[in-house]
Structure 1
Amino acid sequence: MGMTYEDAVHLLHRASFGGTPEEFTACIQLGRQESVRRLLSGISLTDKPEALVNFNLMTREGRPGGKRPLTASRIYDQQQYWLYLMVNTQAPLVEKMTLFWHGHFATAFYKVDDMLPMYQQNVLFRQYALGNFKELVQKIGKDPAMMFWLDMNRSKKEAPNENYSRELMELFTLGIGHYSEQDVKELARAFTGWRIINSQASFNANWYDPGVKTLLGTTGNLGYTEAVEIILKQQAYPIFLATKLLKFFATANPPSFWIELVANSIRTKNTIGEVLQELFNSNEFYKQRYRKRLFKSPTEYVVSTFRALGLTINEHNSYLPAKSMGQELYNPPDVSGWDGGDSWLNSDRMVGRHQFASMIARSMSDSKLNSSEFKPAQPSNPDDWLAMWCKRFGIGELSPSTKTSLRSYANDTVVNSSQPITGMRGLMQLVLMSPESQMK
């Protein structure tokens, strides 16, 4: 099935972190099914080879050979490197889903206070980014960062801790209203016995409650594995996960029929990748009512800008801007993750976006801005300047008011200016700050 330019922009802003003009063109040439297949398989849309620098070789300057190597135990270095992966990977959907799981199973460094388990959790999310969700749920409860975060590591039969058992059902699998307080207590009993030894989950039989338990209507000598299996057999689970996926990838208010379609896919497919394949190939996903209706998260805004401009991530331009906009990787505010939606664009966070756009514009050298890559074919036409920057940032269309304002600015400061470089830099900044650039 063919793709228009607008289709390509929509797909890459949702299933990737935006794209380059070459990637948008490649999607159009490849068509819908092949573009989706490549995104799911981690194959470059443009046949560009993967060339990622290992963490141990990366530096805070953003390149190998710099004077300040990254340190694995430093959260800021891990944040920088994850953003580097998002910007430079040829498998962006894997990183997008890793980000999704990080928000879904939200765990924060400020309590864990150790980057090793946080990094290990990130590796787990990447491993299961497009894999089997039920296997991920089985593993996440024994993940050291999660165990420490929700106190599974000190839950004993004498005093079962209910934190993880509650959040597993409320926030991770079923949602409020699909379990009782007694279910929370019984699940906590089933989860006793686990602790962390040498950065790994370890079972201590003396801590475990071996008694009979009744969870969600099933009675037996339930342990960790059996309890999770019971939860994932509930009718609420596929509906809950389908809703979260649709809100992340498609629309803030998914209609019930679409939730049921995706839920059925979750019931019948083996992996999240297969579920997303159906979603991204569906005609519903590309309907006009869903386009440019989601707000870019700070991470998406930062990463899409760097991908579009081919800029280098370093310690100054990566995690600090995203944090000022309200999203610090490895540090979601609480167990429910980031609120998202229009909360990304409150007044304080918009200041951070404006500061980021200004920083990016200043970082563009005169020689780069003066190159043919950043000049339209007809530099005397202000509309061509707008079209060039919209194509660069994957903006399908500007609103009439935005277009009028930017056309006037381009005409005065670029086309009819004795200092066009200054105007070019300002125009890029204004396009990046436009309402259309905040949407995907």
Structure 2
Amino acid sequence: MSAWTYKEAVHLLNRAGFGGTPEEIAACVRLGCKESVRRLIGGISLTGKNEELAEFNTMYREADKKRPLLENRISDWAQYWIYRMAYSQFPLVEKMTLFWHGHFTSAESKVDETRFMQVQNRLLRQYALGDFRELAHKIGKDRAMMVYLDLDRSRKDAPNENYAREFMEIFTLGIRNFTEQDVKELARAFTGWRFGDPAFIQDYWVDKGTKTLLGVTGNLGYTEAVNIILSQPAYPKFMAKKLLRFFAVDNPDQVWIDHVANNISKMKTMGEVLQELFTSNEFYNPKYRMAVIKAPADYVAGTIRALQMYVFASDSSEAAKYMGQFLFMPPNVAGWPGGEAWLEGLMSRYSFSGNIAAKTDINKSEFKPAQPADPDAWIDVWCKRFGIAELSQNTRAGLRSYVKDTIINSSQPLAGMRGLMRLVLLCPEMQMK
């Protein structure tokens, strides 16, 4: 790339994490692209801080510690995950855990056991940047997944096709890259598994007959069948497109898909794949900046991260839920649709911004510019706080007029300051990354 500036640093932190504090953005600018990416991939703090996250059982729903989080309440686990997103010094791990949650999808609504969802969440975090092929093997033996897609019910006299179909269509190959007969044969290869700790084979329920899957014939079991699927040329291209849609652009071109697919084919870990992506010139092409609508988890966790406020005071998981992303409760096996679908939750973003503005101690020097008579200085304070690298002329003009009327020329500037914060949270540029 021609230069590494504030804009590129904000772009990286928005995509590889949940934005950043002003200190993190400044550190990213100072460190440069390669070192910043190395730290994000390696789980090294950008700022040198090594603050450990609080454990779930030490957290409280309210700031005054009136109600602890409950182990059997999925909304409390969603709240805790927002906390991890907002405060982790290793945000890419949480971002990739979120990616895998929307890829290898399970929902508590069917699993109906919160602890199973937590075991799965830990599995996805363990492999967030690790060996993605190994994760593809392990996810089918995960108890939440076995319940969600009925693999625990599959036996040789009645193979259940749910997991087999979704494993190829949604998780690995995509539609039109397998046949209905392949689904039937894969279902036979997946028979006999029962959940336990760990999952185990019930031998008399296993179909040990000859199977033909994607042109390969043999006495195929679970491991052999998964390996056959992961060896298909459609697999790296399918994964490359999903990664680029999540991290880069809604409609990546085929040349970029093919390039990332080639890396997926030859690299062992997702960390290696992402390191190449985040240091590539194409990733920082200006046309991709501010080109993707923030998911609710991005928007909520990013706001809290920027302010470093008490995460539970804003009912953050409920806010994300009403914006359209209830963590641990994706709408179906395909996960959340993303893209323009997130716009359906704009009214909930409006409500969230009001709650945040009301609960922020606005009368602090850090929220006031050195030139209080300059409306652009007020705007820049909040743009820098929320990692907004550029505003359109129309947005800036509207905010400038508001600042003049409600802060600079007002007898009650604190109300105007809260209003400005809220308007910045609601501006089009804040919804994009």
Taking structure 1 as the reference length, the TM-score comes to 0.97
Distance 1:309 1:290 in 2: 26
Aligned to 1:228: 226
Aligned to 2:88: 89
Write out per-residue CA displacement over residues 66-105 of structure 1, whole angstroms, 9 at most, x where no aligned residue: 2322221211111111111111100000000000000001
Indicate the percent of aligned positions where both proteins have the same amino acid.
60
Write out per-residue CA displacement over residues 319-355 of structure 1, whole angstroms, 9 at most, x where no aligned residue: 1100110000000000000010011002xx1110100
Q: How many residues align?
A: 432
CA contact (8 A) 1:383 1:407 kept: yes
Distance 1:290 1:67 in 2: 45
The alpha carbon displacement at 1:186 in A equals 0.1
Distance 2:430 2:63 in 1: 25
Choose which of 291, 294, 305 in structure 2 pairs with 1:293.
Answer: 291
Distance 2:195 2:325 in 1: 29
User: What is the letter of the counterpart of residue 84 of structure 2?
Assistant: L
Aligned to 1:389: 382
Aligned to 1:400: 393
Report the 3-state secondary structure (helix = DSSP H, G, I; strand = E; otherwise coil) of the residue aligned with 2:195. Answer: strand
Write out per-residue CA displacement over residues 247-273 of structure 1, whole angstroms, 9 at most, x where no aligned residue: 000111111111111011101111000
In the TM superposition, 1:18-33 aligns within 5 A as 18-33=19-34
Choose which of 339, 346, 356 in structure 2 pairs with 1:350.
Answer: 346
Distance 2:403 2:120 in 1: 47
What is the aligned-residue RMSD (CA, Å)?
1.1
Distance 1:33 1:214 in 2: 46
Write out per-residue CA displacement over residues 268-296 of structure 1, whole angstroms, 9 at most, x where no aligned residue: 11100000000000011001010000000
Choose which of 295, 302, 305 in structure 1 pairs with 2:303.
Answer: 305
Aligned to 1:54: 55
In the TM superposition, 1:100-115 aligns within 5 A as 100-115=99-114
Distance 2:228 2:103 in 1: 20
Aligned to 2:136: 137
Aligned to 2:329: 331
Choose which of 271, 274, 292 in structure 2 pairs with 1:273.
Answer: 271
Write out per-residue CA displacement over residues 175-210 of structure 1, whole angstroms, 9 at most, x where no aligned residue: 00100000000000000001124x542210111000
CA contact (8 A) 2:236 2:261 kept: yes
User: What is the letter of the counterpart of residue 350 of structure 1?
Assistant: L
Structure 1, unpaired ranges of 5+:
none
Which range moved further: 174-183 or 69-78? 69-78
Aligned to 1:13: 14
The alpha carbon displacement at 1:51 in A equals 2.4
The alpha carbon displacement at 1:31 in A equals 0.4
Aligned to 2:155: 156
CA contact (8 A) 2:27 2:47 kept: yes
Aligned to 1:376: 369
Report the 3-state secondary structure (helix = DSSP H, G, I; strand = E; otherwise coil) of the residue aligned with 1:385. Answer: helix
1:252 and 2:245 aligned: no
Choose which of 303, 315, 318 in structure 2 pairs with 1:317.
Answer: 315
Distance 2:119 2:318 in 1: 23
CA contact (8 A) 2:142 2:195 kept: no
Query: Runs of 4+ in structure 1 displaced over 3 angstroms?
Result: none
Report the 3-state secondary structure (helix = DSSP H, G, I; strand = E; otherwise coil) of the residue aligned with 1:314. Answer: helix
CA contact (8 A) 2:314 2:356 kept: no
Write out per-residue CA displacement over residues 34-68 of structure 1, whole angstroms, 9 at most, x where no aligned residue: 000011111111111122111121121258xx232
Distance 1:215 1:307 in 2: 47
Aligned to 2:416: 423
Taking structure 2 as the reference length, the TM-score comes to 0.98
